[in-house]
Structure 1
Amino acid sequence: MRRLPYSGYAEMRWKNGQGVTREVCRFPTDEQYDWRISIATIREDGAFSRFAGYLRNISVLEGEGMFLTVDDQRSALIPQFQTMDFNGDSAVFCEVVGGPLLDFNVIYRRETTQATVCWLHEGAWQHQQGTMLLFNAGDLLDVTVDDERHTLQHYDSLLIDNPATVTVHAGSDTLFACVTLTSR
């Protein structure tokens, strides 16, 4: 189990050079990863980078939303904290609504990994297998893993690799992504 503070997220240029991503975590850490979680600022309309062999899940963290045109099919408006899945091989064009936005991305290799992303206000569950990442989109997030209590600041994450009992304590501003990554 590791706490991943927002201040420690590595900043890197997009593959297409048109923006910047802050990488939350990837596994393994080399260039041929099975999965990667990141947040990115989208300042203007434009094409997304292609990720051949990967599937993608995206959510809006800050901003009024976006439309994605994936292989010539325009999506409905994607508002804050609603997920959208698409193929990394696809041609994707993003239209930003009302100015810059910040998004939350999960990219995973379709041959090796299955990923789910849920936005929640509270929860208690048994994490059995794979990797779970909790990403705090609120001010503070109180999490208990087995008997250890953790407080996550805004945009901090908690990575859990072992079976555990996980409880997120609800607060008035509690909102977090629960990302589950399992091997195929």
Structure 2
Amino acid sequence: MTVLLSYADYAEMRWKNGQGVTREVCRFPGSEAYDWRVSVATIRENGAFSRFSGYLRNISVLEGDGMFLTLDGQRSALIPPFQATDFNGDSDAYCEVVGGPLLDFNVIYNPQTTQAAVRWACDGEWAHPQGTLLLFNAGDALDVAVNAQSFTLQHYDSLLIDAPATLAVNAGADTHFACVTLLSRSSRR
């Protein structure tokens, strides 16, 4: 099954620590104890991230000049836009915003139940053999064919694909999209 998720429909919620706002793209399952969650968050100023004990995280900058993350006392190099960065949800994480407010893209997952990978692309054709694939459009309109069915993703829309598929993405030069692969540990071979 393939589902188009519109940015206008993403649920908005406060951060666990109350210092920011997140728009949830989707989560599985829909309960509080999820296997994985994908979201976008606005970071207006330097500050601590919420802890997600028992989860691993991946973050990318969507808008803004970048950020530095200090994880358990170790400061990272500059994280520029569209660079996927992994870290442990149990870490003491502090963010320094570069050049004003930024918007980020987050994947949070339970490593006991889920294997996750995030990569940024501009176009391409490939097969998705198993698990769940989420495409997140960070640019202008993005045309995607899934098993020859056509979809158009507007800015910050997503496409959720949870069956084997062949994909083709045609995008402009300034378009970036995230490919998030989510595999259930029970279904891996």
Aligned equivalents of 1:178, 1:151: Cα separation in 2: 16
1:68 equivalent in alignment to 2:59: no
Show the counterpart of 1:50.
51
Structure 1 distance, partners of 2:100, 2:176, is 23
The percent identity for this pair of structures is 74
Residue 123 in structure 1 maps to residue 124 in structure 2: yes
- Partners of 1:170 and 1:44 lie apart in 2 by 32
Secondary structure in 1 matching 2:58 = strand
- Pairwise CA distance, 1:173: 2.6
Consecutive unaligned residues of structure 2, counting only runs of 5 or more, are none
Which residue number in structure 2 is paired with residue 16 of structure 1?
Answer: 17
Matches within 5 A, 1:131-150: 131-150=132-151
Q: Structure 1 stretches (4+) deviating beyond 6 angstroms?
A: none
Q: Which amino acid aligns with 1:51?
A: F
Residue type matched to 1:65 in 2? G
- Cα distance in 1 for partners of 2:171, 2:64 equals 24
Aligned-residue Cα RMSD (Å) equals: 0.6
Q: Give distance in 2, aligned partners of 1:65 and 1:168.
A: 26
How far residue 170 of structure 1 moved from its aligned partner, in angstroms, is: 3.0
* Count of matched residue pairs: 184
Q: Which residue of 1 aligns with 2:182?
A: 181
Q: Distance in 2 between matches of 1:58 and 1:79?
A: 11
Name the structure 2 match of 1:28.
Answer: 29
The residue correspondences of 1:145-184 to structure 2 (distance < 5 A) are 145-184=146-185
Unaligned runs of 5+ in 1: none
Separation in structure 1 between the aligned mates of residue 53 and residue 81 of structure 2, nearest angstrom = 26
Match of 2:95 in 1: 94
Mapped pair 1:3 → 2:4? yes
